[in-house]
Amino acid sequence: MTLDYFSLNDLITALFIFLGAVIYSSVGHGGASSYIAIMSFMGTPTQIIKPIGLSLNIIVSSIASYRFVKHRFLNPSVLIPVVIGSIPAAFIGGLIDLPSSLFRLLLGFVLLFAGLQLIFNFFHQRNELQKVNFILAFFLGGGIGLVSGLTGTGGGIFLSPLIIFLGWTTIREASGTASIFILCNSLAGLAGNFSSIGHLPPSIFLYSIAVLMGVLIGTHLGIKQLNPDSLRKVLGVVLIIAALKFILT
């Protein structure tokens, strides 16, 4: 399979997916919200956006998890309860095939939140870490997991700012914690939507290579403490535009 096999649309989509993977993986996120926004702009059919987003998330979060955990950017006391809550919820969400209009509306609001969070960073780290509330973390994971399974996103864009705001982790620990959370959610969501795997287009191979290259660069930048603030704001604007497209059309 050579590049001639793919259309110009596929190649352009892969390029932007690569850039999305670099930016998102630098903070431990899978980047599904950016891939979904990009595929929406490029005219990808709605019914395959969800499985493609989850598949690419699995690739990115697997590598990000390994690299961040290797550098001890992880908080098990947060990870355990949120994952216990999220896995069954993400699986159930993956099983549910929403009507196209409702799916687009829900996905639009998820992308809108993701874009606004990237631009304005509503949640800031507390001066002192707080004790993790297991029950709250469990239900937090469950709620995010359900939305993740329904929309084909990993949930990191919700989890990271919330656990930082609650004072449960440092910003660095949130990166590793979120990457494993996203991996578990994406696997569970795709398992619940298993029948869709057979409908993945050939371009998934090209997109997979793009995110693989992106995550290797992005996690390196994240570990080296680079903070690509301006790039995240640009990506935030892209997500908001895509969100409005889903919500208003």
Cα(129)–Cα(134) distance, integer angstroms: 15
What are the backbone angles phi and psi of residue 103, rounded to the nearest 5°? -60, -45
Shortest CA distance to 149 belongs to which of 110, 102, 195, 92? 92
Cα(236)–Cα(23) distance, integer angstroms: 11
Q: What pLDDT tens digit does each residue of the chain (249 aa) get?
A: 556 678 889 999 999 999 988 888 777 677 888 898 899 888 888 888 888 988 998 998 898 888 888 888 889 999 999 999 999 999 999 898 888 889 889 988 988 988 888 788 776 667 788 999 999 999 999 999 999 899 888 888 889 888 988 899 887 788 889 889 999 999 999 888 777 777 788 899 999 999 999 988 887 776 665 555 666 777 788 788 888 888 886
Q: Enumerate the domain spans of the chain.
A: 9-248
Question: What is the pLDDT at residue 181?
Answer: 94
Look up residue 18 and give its two tokens.
Answer: 């690569």
pTM, full prediction = 0.83
Report yes or no: 130 and 166 within 8 Å, Cβ to Cβ. yes
Cα(170)–Cα(126) distance, integer angstroms: 9
Question: What is the pLDDT at residue 223?
Answer: 61
Give 225: exposed, middle or buried? Use CB within 10 Å, 0-12, 13-18, 19+. Answer: exposed
Q: Express the helix, strand and coil content of the chain in percent, nearest 5 each.
A: 80, 0, 20
Cα(151)–Cα(242) distance, integer angstroms: 14
Per-residue buried b or exposed e for 104-127, using 16+ beta carbons within 10 Å of the residue's own CB: bebbbebbbbbbebbbeeeeeeee
Radius of gyration of the chain (CA): 17
Question: What is the pLDDT at residue 208?
Answer: 94
Cα(28)–Cα(26) distance, integer angstroms: 6
Cα(222)–Cα(31) distance, integer angstroms: 14
HSE-up of residue 223 (Cα within 13 Å, Cβ side)? 19
Question: What is the pLDDT at residue 228?
Answer: 56
